[in-house]
Amino acid sequence: MAETQPIDLKGRPYNHLAFIWTLLAGTFTMSISQSSLSTAYPTLMRYFNVPASTVQWLTTGFMLVMVVMMPVSPWLLNNLRFPVLFMSMLALFDVGTFIIYLATSFPLMMLGRVMEAMAVGIMFPSYQTVMLRITPEDKRGGVMGFAGLVMGSALAVGPIISGIVLKYTTWQGLFVVFMLIITVVFVVSLKTIKDVMPQHTSRLDYLSVVGSLGFIGILYVVNQIGKTGVNWGLQGALLVVSLLLVTFFVWRQFHVDTPLLELRVLKTFNFDLAVLLTGTSYIALIVVTIIFPLYYQTVLGLSPFASGMSLVPGAVLLSLLNPVTGHLADKIGFKGTMLTGMGMIVVGWALLVLMPGKQPLLSMILIAALIEGGNAFVMMPAVTLGANSLPDNLISHGTAVITTVRQILGSTGVAVATLILAMVTASHKATTTAANANLAGYRAVFATFLVVSIVGFIFAAMLRDGRKTKAQA
């Protein structure tokens, strides 16, 4: 990775590769725990005697807590030594997982998931910040591509691990696996994780933390879209309060000496485009992983397990392409790399819109691979471009902004896709067969995200060469 022996803040050399592997092993395991749980939903519903709407909170609640923790990560990086922060988050995740393992009631399991989500919300922006800070700028694309390989492979490994564990043991066995891995990473980190992030001690702005709770409210309301029996009067009031809280949060970041999240990074043109591009590509990725399995089951008649396995080829391609695209961005620049990726995503959605009738499974798998492969050319290169557009002391704030916006846009994309699918399908059922109504619903979803991907392609075309010009602190 680095050509010279890297040193920590105390001037002591450390193993750069071991540091990165340990960092990625922890965040990779956390990522699997986030994505693999849906496989166990039917089992958990029977075990705790709860309906699907309740068990869904294991994912929805996880996402809400994770999003509100992301803006806090820059403050923690600035005020805690990184080894302390990293091992504290591993310990928090481990304790939360242990509580889930022991849980005899659903609320107790939910408590464990909240603790896991707090750790993940802090670590997801932090690991990217640290990797960017310890890597020379001309090598960042390759290193972040390597990170993308490891993290992207969680999409493929998650359902496989959960499927195997659930086949041979109880649902608790899944969390035993996570505990064992995180415990091993914790022990290894005592040797490999070093103090590499300079501290800039400041007081935590609690009013900003309160304002950031508005993100939870907005995401919660977004996730109610398309559901039946929702009290929209109450949801509307919650949305208004949440928007006011977020407005206060944004205003306060520009009016305090040490903001919780430095939003002045948004004054940098390339950084803004990087945020929009990583969000656009993530929307495409998350919609594929949610909508395609539904298509496989409702249109092609596949089982839930087979539909989940049908996503693996695309996820594997995404993982394998990430290092390639990272090095490509270092060599030919970010604009050409991301134009290629957005072009692949546009072509993928366009094929789904233009090809008539029901698509065979092989075609759907290939198109999913095309869209997910395009994501590899955009997401991590966009994160790297955003970091390269900022001075080093603002990178932690930049990655927190990117990860928070990406999560919000991804959740909104899924909600919009679900709503369009339900509404268009329902409107066609009166005039055609159920099969044709389903196809019409999916085609409307595909057309919507074709438009979103075209907008993303325009964003990529607007990029400037971020390797030569940095924002001023």
In the predicted model, is pLDDT for residue 1 greater than 60? no
Predicted confidence at residue 394, as pLDDT, reads 86
The CATH number of the domain covering residues in 1-201: 1.20.1250.20
pLDDT tens digits, residue range 268-277?
888 999 999 9
Q: How confident is the model at residue 467 (pLDDT cuts 50, 70, 90)?
A: very low
pLDDT tens digits, residue range 138-177?
777 777 777 777 766 776 677 667 777 877 888 898 899 8
Predicted confidence at residue 2, as pLDDT, reads 41
Start-end of CATH 1.20.1250.20 domains in the chain? 1-201, 264-473
pLDDT tens digits, residue range 291-342?
888 888 888 888 767 877 788 888 888 888 888 888 888 788 889 999 999 9
pTM of the model: 0.80
CB 372 within 8 A of CB 313: no
Mean pLDDT, the chain, rounded, equals 86
pLDDT tens digits, residue range 84-100?
999 999 999 999 999 99
CB 161 within 8 A of CB 36: yes
Between 451 and 326, name the one with better pLDDT.
Answer: 451
**Token match 């990725």: residue?**
285
Predicted confidence at residue 365, as pLDDT, reads 93
CATH class of the domain comprising 264-473: mainly alpha
Predicted confidence at residue 273, as pLDDT, reads 92
Predicted confidence at residue 473, as pLDDT, reads 41
Predicted confidence at residue 4, as pLDDT, reads 66
Residue 34: alpha-carbon gap to chain centroid: 10
pLDDT tens digits, residue range 366-412?
999 999 999 989 988 888 888 888 888 888 888 888 888 888 888 78
